[in-house]
Amino acid sequence: MAKNVAKIKKVAVFTSGGDAPGMNAAVRAVVRGAVYHGIEVCGIIRGYDGLIKGDIIDMDGYSVSNIIQRGGTILKSARSEEFRTKEGRAKAYDNIKKFKIDGLVAIGGNGTYTGSMLFSKEFDIPVIGVPGTIDNDLYGSDYTIGYDTAVNTALSAIDKIRDTADAHDRIFFVEVMGRDSGFIAIRSAIGGGAELAMIPETKTSTQYVINKLKEVSNHSRASHIIVVAEGDEEGSAQDIASRVKRSLPHLDIRVTQLGHIQRGGSPTAADRVLASRLGLGALEGLLEGRSNVAAGIINRKLVYTSFEDAITKKKPYNRELVRMIEILSGRSYKFKLSEQMEE
């Protein structure tokens, strides 16, 4: 049960940073949760930039009707250089007072959390974060909003690429998003039956790829899918494919960079449920007197993690999934750091 409801009379919700499918479901949960608990709620347009400019609108249950299935965010999103300055944050706080806002729900990724932590500490305003990023790289939640949808979008593309690759015996390097993490790459590679995944968490050299392709090409012509996370230390999929092509000019090599298609589209059922749980959890966390924390789901339970830990701690990836790629593809990976693996 929520406690200390009287201390919070009005909350504001905003989305910031890169958009992720499911953000609208989280906004909906915050708004309808506020209505349920009998408190006022407003939406901040374009994140921190809107908070500085006072671009704030009143919301109610009807204002979030028919949005749970929509990608993107009805509150828009933007990055704000001005909010990085003390003067910018002071302007934002002036609007907090002007609109009589008692608490904030910040939906976004690492940068959103960093801004919220600074703002909360400087002006003693209660803020709770909601992990909204397709990268799934935030510590404090098993999954982040948008990740499942992004994986399924990547998987759908890989399935289609597999069809044409097989028809022409081509090698496709498919680059997926993820910033500095390989979570999208790992799951889409397993689901798409990729022969190899190159991710920041493991060391897979271009020479290793060349050697494996040389080995298989000596026996038969066949199609191959190699999934590359955008943050891999070997470079982009285009960079890697170019080096491979120079060494193996007889192979028909193509590159597909999936790009921002992974951010769009209707969220999956998993993302809608996750976003709804986290949005409501953040709202009720504020009502319970929590602040400077991020809501998350770990082992199917709602938890709260300090912004500092969520920002600074490295999220471990599932070693078993990487091992699965190794076994099913007949390849062996060298791990960079054992502490990055799931215990």
- The band of 62, judged by pLDDT with boundaries at 50, 70 and 90, is very high
CA 85, 88, 94, 96 torsion-angle sign: negative
* pLDDT recorded at residue 35: 98
pLDDT higher than threshold 90 for residue 302: yes
- Given the residues 19, 49, 135, 271, select the one marked as catalytic: 135
Helix (H, G, I), strand (E, B) or coil at 306: strand
Q: What is the pLDDT of residues 266-296, one digit of tens each?
A: 999 999 999 999 999 999 999 999 999 999 9
Please report, to the nearest 10 degrees, the dihedral formed by the alpha carbons of residues 136, 148, 113, 181 taken in order. Answer: 20
Digit-coded pLDDT (tens) for 166-222: 999 999 999 999 988 999 999 999 999 998 899 988 888 899 899 888 876 665 657
Least confident of 6-15, 25-34, 42-51: 6-15
Cβ-proximal residues to 136 (8 Å cutoff; 6+ apart), any chain: 143, 144, 147, 178, 181, 183, 184, 315
Q: What is the pLDDT of residue 217?
A: 65
pLDDT at 1 over 90: no
**95 within 8 A of 49, measured Cβ to Cβ:** no
CA–CA separation, 190 vs 212, rounded Å?
18
Helix (H) or strand (E) holding 101: none
For the chain, list the domains and their CATH numbers. 5-146+267-312 (3.40.50.450), 148-262+318-340 (3.40.50.460)
Does residue 20 surpass a pLDDT of 70?
yes
Q: How far apart are CA 83 and CA 75, in angstroms?
A: 18
* Residue of 70, 61, 66, 5 lying closest to 30 (CA atoms): 61
137 part of the active site: no
Residue-wise pLDDT for 245-270, tens only, equals: 999 999 999 999 999 999 999 999 99
* CA–CA separation, 61 and 33 (whole Å): 9
pLDDT at site 316: 85
Question: Which of these ranges, 4-8, 38-42, 63-67, has the smallest mean pLDDT?
Answer: 4-8
Nearest to 105 by CA among 211, 164, 32: 32
